[in-house]
Amino acid sequence: MSVDATVKAVEQLTELGFSQYEARAYVGLLGSEPMTGYALAGRTGIPQPKVYETLRRLEDKDAVVRVGDNPARFLAVPADQLLAQVDAGFRARVAESRRSLAELSQEQGNQRAHVLPSLSEWESVAATASGIIRRAAQHVYLSAHADQLTPLGADILDAQDRGVRFDILSFGPSPVTVRNGRTVQHTSTEGVLYRHHQARHLAVVADNHDTLWALAPDGHDWNAAVINDPLFTAVVKGYIRHDLYVQQIYADFPDELRTRYGPGLQHLVQPPNAGEAPLPGRSETRPRTA
């Protein structure tokens, strides 16, 4: 056996649960006449104080057999036999683990963890969003700033050629042409400076299944979740649709809404302070002071 083949075989056995010495000892014995521990130590480089302990562990694993006692010699079982034993043992452990985990799942009742793979670079976020759009077959909801929509433009056009409908909420003039569906521009906060005005986000839901929610609070450092969970898909889709509806209403009644709720609809977030006039058409009750 060549040196490279020996090293590879040892590495593979350690991946199957053998220690480094066990793997070296078995490979050293494989295909050889029965060998003493002393001779095996010389062949494999295993320290003599360790070689007999290693051979005893291999005997317990039925990987080697002892031939005679004076002196004791050892013989490796055939590789096919050893691997069949390892495979049977592995399958038995998997089956036992399956039973144990099933019992734990029953004890935990309806508790369920939601696993959300995450992304932290804009390039990965954009590539994932493109993949979701390319796989879409029927309907995509999408919300983003114009800068984040731009790299998705070609995929959006191609998807529309396949008959996919798009409902897009764009922060700023949309760089994307929508022939099948609609684009609504987020205009209610234009010209109004909010504390986190520099924040950017990208939300995509395709066919009520593939979902991406990405946020960069400072406009640069992204944190994203890739979601294939019905619960979170419903949350993100509901967020996009709600925002679309509000912006459509604002586009239809801008003067009335600014008069009632102030510039940027700020009074929806922060009601008037004490001493300010209440919002038109609404009464306010303030606590009495002594």
Q: Is the pLDDT of residue 267 over 90?
A: no
SS3 73: strand
Range 259-270 average pLDDT: 83
Q: How many other CB atoms are there within 10 angstroms of residue 36's CB atom?
A: 16
Range 99-113 average pLDDT: 73
Question: Could you write out the DSSP letters of every residue in 248-262?
Answer: HHHHHSHHHHHHHH-
pLDDT at 190: 72
pLDDT at 284: 45
Q: Is the pLDDT of residue 196 over 80?
A: no
Residues 6+ apart with CB under 8 A from 183: 166, 168, 169, 170, 174, 176
pTM of the full predicted structure? 0.58
Please, what is the average pLDDT of the chain?
Answer: 87
Range 156-164 average pLDDT: 96
Which of 21-35, 142-156, 190-204, 272-286 is least confident?
272-286
Q: For the segment 235-257, what is each residue's pLDDT rounded down to a tens digit? A: 999 999 999 999 999 999 999 99
Burial call 80-98: b when 16+ CB within 10 Å, e when fewer: eebeeebeeeeeeeeeeee
Q: How many other CB atoms are there within 10 angstroms of residue 27's CB atom?
A: 23
Q: For the segment 29-83, what is each residue's pLDDT rounded down to a tens digit? A: 998 999 999 999 999 999 999 999 999 999 999 999 999 888 999 999 999 999 9
Contact 145, 201 (CB under 8 A): yes
Range 176-187 average pLDDT: 93
Alpha helix (H) ranges present in the chain? 3-15, 20-29, 37-44, 48-60, 79-107, 122-135, 146-149, 153-161, 230-252, 254-261, 266-269
Residues 6+ apart with CB under 8 A from 112: none
Comparing 288 with 230, which gets the higher pLDDT? 230
pLDDT at 283: 44
pLDDT at 199: 85
